[in-house]
């Protein structure tokens, strides 16, 4: 049995659940910063599988790790110990402020695990408190509970009634968190920079104030670093730039360089789980952990976060130049290689298509914002090429 088709996009419209607003592009191959479509056209990729392909496409280090592990041992279940899982867990603990790890298959699953841990913590240590405070414009995943945590009406409204125990308050507003805190609160969960919400950077002292409040009230601080972690913002984790430490942290996107993996980490004092209280069939299997271990080792050994600082400010400055040139741009925001260009009107979708025509992939994270989240190994030369295409596309639309 086999499926052959002349028009894959037409087949998608018939057989796939109609949930994605896809770009009219069928990708078949990738190498480094580039991907190719089914007509052979080449694109410079500043989307990177949504901040996932941290080493670029099909990096030899990742390909070798995956092919070697695929030929050795792929899946065992967590009934047994496996070496790649413990290597990855050991490296994650050694290079972060957290003490224990659980490995799952996606970002949403990592957040679910972190929220379950917060509920256990509340039940045992906080007199049964179970509410988690999260923020407007946040993004924590697509499961029912992570949708309740995600403070965006467009994701929540189709699925009400949502699981209870979540309070959404404005981002970058410590007083709102204070007002929402009650004796039922067990945790505050935040992204250090909001990614899917449009690349929103809080004030420099926001995370510190939230940390102090959590300390004062005995609440867990969960940082969702699924998008900001693994070097994306110019340090291995974004919390390191704010002089604070979370009690619990979630990671996923950039960790596996493209293979599906997510994890949550916790401080010893927060890790109240007992055997049997959480689990996963595939989670942390040898295949994905070998990938995660190879990617994380490469990022650390090659000082990729420092590279991200350097090329990130190069891209930021180039975008600022465009902002000075075109009135359509309201500003540039973000850190490292998590950047967005704000737009005066809702033309991000059109700009994405214009860039695509000229061989550049960028993401319309909001109708009025373009997001640039290239692989962390992007060079200044790639950036000049991307800026040149953006310049032409903005010029066309003047």
Ligand X SMILES: *Cc1c(COP(=O)(O)O)cnc(C)c1O
Closest approach, Cβ 236 to ligand X, in A, equals: 16
**141 is a site residue for ligand X (CB under 6 A):** yes
Looking at 102, 139, 155, 166, which residue is catalytic? Answer: 139
Closest approach, Cβ 206 to ligand X, in A, equals: 16
CB of 226 or CB of 290, closer to ligand X: 226
**168 is a site residue for ligand X (CB under 6 A):** no
Q: Is 139 a catalytic residue?
A: yes
Considering only residues 30, 107, 234, 374, which one is a binding residue for ligand X as defined by CB under 6 A? 107
Looking at 224, 247, 335, 382, which residue is catalytic? Answer: 224
CB of 165 or CB of 198, closer to ligand X: 198
Of the candidate spans 100-108, 162-170, 291-299, 329-337, the one that interacts with ligand X by CB under 6 A turns out to be 100-108
Q: Is 183 a catalytic residue?
A: no
What's the token pair of residue 40? 């052979």
Secondary structure of the chain as H, E, C letters:
CCCCCCCHHHHHHHHCCCCCCCCCCCEEEEEECEEEECCCCEEEECCHHHHCCCCCECCHHHHHHHHHHHCCCCCCCCCCCCHHHHHHHHHHHHCCCCCEEEEECCHHHHHHHHHHHHHHHHHHHCCCCCEEEEEECCCCCCCHHHHHHCECHHHHHHHCCCCCCEEEECCCCHHHHHHHCCCCEEEEEECCCECCCCCECCCCCHHHHHHHHHHHHCCEEEEECCCCCCCCCCCCCHHHHCCCCCCEEEECHHHHECECCEEEEECHHHCCCCCCCCCCCCCCCHHHHHHHHHHHHHHHHCCHHHHHHHHHHHHHHHHHHHHHHCCCEEEEEEECCEEEEEECCCCHHHHHHHHHHCCEECEEEECCEEEECCCCCCCHHHHHHHHHHHHHHHHHCC
CB of 196 or CB of 247, closer to ligand X: 196
Closest approach, Cβ 142 to ligand X, in A, equals: 6
Nearest-angstrom CA–CA distance, 169 and 211: 16
**259 is a site residue for ligand X (CB under 6 A):** no
**195 is a site residue for ligand X (CB under 6 A):** yes
**151 is a site residue for ligand X (CB under 6 A):** no
Secondary structure of 333-393 as H, E, C letters:
EEECCEEEEEECCCCHHHHHHHHHHCCEECEEEECCEEEECCCCCCCHHHHHHHHHHHHHH
> Is 361 exposed, middle or buried, given 0-12, 13-18 or 19+ CB atoms closer than 10 A?
buried
Q: Is 253 a catalytic residue?
A: yes
Closest approach, Cβ 41 to ligand X, in A, equals: 27
Considering only residues 252, 271, 294, 319, which one is a binding residue for ligand X as defined by CB under 6 A? 252
CB of 108 or CB of 315, closer to ligand X: 108
Nearest-angstrom CA–CA distance, 393 and 122: 52
**226 is a site residue for ligand X (CB under 6 A):** yes
CB of 120 or CB of 253, closer to ligand X: 253
CB closest to ligand X, residue no:
107
**196 is a site residue for ligand X (CB under 6 A):** yes
Looking at 209, 253, 335, 366, which residue is catalytic? Answer: 253
Q: How many residues in the shown chain lie near ligand X by CB under 6 A? A: 16
Closest approach, Cβ 227 to ligand X, in A, equals: 3
Closest approach, Cβ 194 to ligand X, in A, equals: 8
Of the candidate spans 101-109, 158-166, 213-221, 313-321, the one that interacts with ligand X by CB under 6 A turns out to be 101-109
CB of 45 or CB of 224, closer to ligand X: 224
**191 is a site residue for ligand X (CB under 6 A):** yes
**84 is a site residue for ligand X (CB under 6 A):** no
Closest approach, Cβ 133 to ligand X, in A, equals: 16
Length of the chain: 398
CB of 168 or CB of 227, closer to ligand X: 227
**140 is a site residue for ligand X (CB under 6 A):** yes
The β-bridge partners of 274 are none
Nearest-angstrom CA–CA distance, 379 and 385: 10
CB of 101 or CB of 393, closer to ligand X: 101
**258 is a site residue for ligand X (CB under 6 A):** no
* Residues of this chain that bind ligand X (CB under 6 A): 106-108, 111, 139-141, 191, 195-196, 224, 226-227, 252-253, 262
Active site residues: 139, 224, 253
């Amino acid at each position: 049995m086999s499926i052959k088709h002349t028009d894959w996009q037409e087949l998608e419209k018939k057989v796939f659940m109609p949930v994605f607003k896809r770009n009219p592009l069928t990708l078949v191959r990738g190498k480094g910063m580039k991907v190719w479509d089914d007509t052979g056209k080449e694109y410079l990729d500043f989307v990177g599988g949504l901040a996932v392909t941290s080493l670029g496409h099909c990096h030899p280090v990742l390909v070798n790790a995956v092919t070697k592990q695929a030929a050795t041992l792929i899946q065992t279940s967590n009934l047994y110990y496996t070496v790649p899982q413990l290597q990855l867990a050991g490296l994650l603990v050694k290079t972060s402020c957290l003490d224990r790890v659980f490995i799952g298959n996606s970002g949403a699953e990592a957040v679910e695990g972190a929220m379950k841990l917060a509920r256990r913590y509340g039940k045992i240590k906080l007199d049964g408190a179970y509410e988690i405070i999260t923020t407007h414009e946040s993004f924590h995943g697509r499961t029912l509970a992570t949708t309740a945590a995600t403070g965006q009406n467009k994701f929540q409204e189709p699925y009400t009634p949502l699981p209870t125990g979540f309070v959404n308050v404005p981002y970058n507003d410590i007083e709102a968190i204070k007002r929402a805190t009650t004796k039922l609160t067990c945790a505050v969960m935040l992204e250090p920079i909001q990614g899917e919400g449009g690349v929103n950077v809080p004030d420099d002292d926001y995370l510190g104030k939230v940390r102090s409040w959590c300390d004062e009230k005995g609440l867990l601080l969960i940082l969702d670093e699924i998008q900001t972690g693994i070097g994306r913002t110019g340090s291995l984790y974004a919390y390191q730039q704010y002089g604070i430490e979370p009690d619990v942290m979630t990671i996923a996107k950039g960790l596996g360089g493209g293979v599906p993996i997510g994890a949550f980490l916790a401080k010893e004092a927060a890790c109240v789980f007992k055997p049997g209280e959480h689990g996963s069939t595939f989670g942390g299997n040898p295949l994905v952990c070998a990938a995660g271990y190879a990617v994380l080792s490469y990022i650390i050994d090659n000082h990729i976060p420092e590279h991200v600082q350097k090329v990130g400010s190069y891209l930021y400055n180039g975008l600022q130049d465009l902002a000075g040139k075109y009135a359509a741009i309201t500003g540039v925001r973000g850190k490292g290689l998590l950047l967005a260009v704000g737009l005066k009107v809702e033309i991000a979708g059109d700009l994405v298509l214009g860039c695509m025509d000229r061989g550049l992939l960028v993401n319309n994270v909001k109708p009025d914002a373009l997001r640039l989240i290239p692989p962390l190994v992007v060079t200044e030369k790639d950036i000049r090429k991307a800026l040149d295409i953006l310049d032409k596309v903005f010029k066309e639309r003047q």
